[in-house]
Amino acid sequence: MTVTKTEDPIAQFEVWLAEARESEPNDPEAMLLATATPTGAPSARMVLLKDVDQRGFTFYTNLDSRKGTELRANPIAAMTFHWKSLRRQVRIEGKVEGVDDAEADAYFATRARLSQIGAWASKQSHPLEGRFELEKRVAFYTAKFHVRAVPRPDNWSGFRLVPTHIEFWKSMEFRLHDRVLYHRGDKGWTSEHLYP
């Protein structure tokens, strides 16, 4: 089955993500996020997609982490989803913007309490002397918030990648893969097939 060209690649992505949720054994929302420093030095890591809609693709992080620092300094990124069970891949490129405080607060409130505590305890991407140091910080913030609600830390929020390009890739026999690339312009989305 080949990639079906549609007028709305976001809707097509949502269909593929729903199918991946049925077939992938772990984390169908996992994606590779690639960022770069202002001088162009790249870095990539796996993160989890938390929302997708017509505005773009949203994920959350510590703003002082390497990815947070790079995205604030150079707000352009790329994402790749690879669903091995379906033999499909989606590549997305675009500009990145921060989510507003209300949206970040709403998502943070849905996280498990230990994940909320972890957001306070972790100095993500910074040197750690040993596991005990992290465990002490977790114990400190667990005691600090005791039984009350855990507020969102100021240095923890979300980013939304606003796509300018989305490519759907489907594995085909003899490596004659099917690829459809969407470009967002002033008048909306256009698409074209690519050679494998």
| Stretch 87-103: mean pLDDT | 98
9-57+66-111+159-194 under CATH 1.10.3720.10, yes or no: no
Q: Tell me which of 131, 175, 179, 184 is the catalytic residue.
A: 175
Confidence at residue 2, expressed as pLDDT on a 0 to 100 scale: 67
CA distances from 148 to 38, 63, 77, 181 (A): 40, 24, 37, 48
- 184 noted as active-site residue: no
Which residues lie below 8 Å from residue 43, measured CB to CB, with a gap of 6+?
A: 34, 35, 36, 37, 66, 67, 70
- DSSP secondary structure, 8-44, as one string: -HHHHHHHHHHHHHHH-SS-TTEEEEEEE-TT--EEE
193/168 Cα distance (integer angstroms): 10
Domain residue extents for the chain? 9-57+66-111+159-194
pTM of the model: 0.93
Confidence at residue 7, expressed as pLDDT on a 0 to 100 scale: 87
Task: Provide the percentage of residues in the chain whose pLDDT is more than 90.
Answer: 90
Secondary structure (3-state) at 196: coil
Report residue 3's pLDDT band, with 50, 70 and 90 as the boundaries. confident
pLDDT in tens, 149-170: 999 999 999 999 999 999 999 9
